[in-house]
Amino acid sequence: MASAEKTAVQASGTSQNGGNNVVSLGPRDILQGRLEIQGDLKIAGNVEGDLKASGDVTVDSTANIQAAIEGSNVNVRGQVTGNVTAKKRLTLGGSGRLNGDVRVSRLTVEDGATLNGNVTMSADKG
């Protein structure tokens, strides 16, 4: 069975981080491996591996991720299996499912979200 792989393409434009790059993976995109970017990352597709962003990481409700995630603010509305490190805040939206340990400064869990794992909180390093 063949699976399509797509390399993330950096798009120019402004973001919440003052003009940094934003990498977006669409709902039909598949990434296998390690992705490390300077900027924000938005994911709506499937990822296996490791994700690291200097900016914010947004996991859409259509995303299915089996990866370690690291970012400034991490917003999860999809399915994530793996450890998450949020330098500032981790937000689990109502449709979010996170199975893994988290290291955060601040944590928000909306009604309907699930978190299965250990939580370690430390001072904001942002």
Residues 124, 95, 19, 84, CA torsion sign: positive
pLDDT at 53: 97
Q: What is the pLDDT of residues 54-75, one digit of tens each?
A: 999 999 999 999 999 999 999 9
Give phi and psi for 3, each to the nearest 5: -125, 140
pTM: 0.82
Question: Residue 3: is its pLDDT beyond 90?
Answer: no
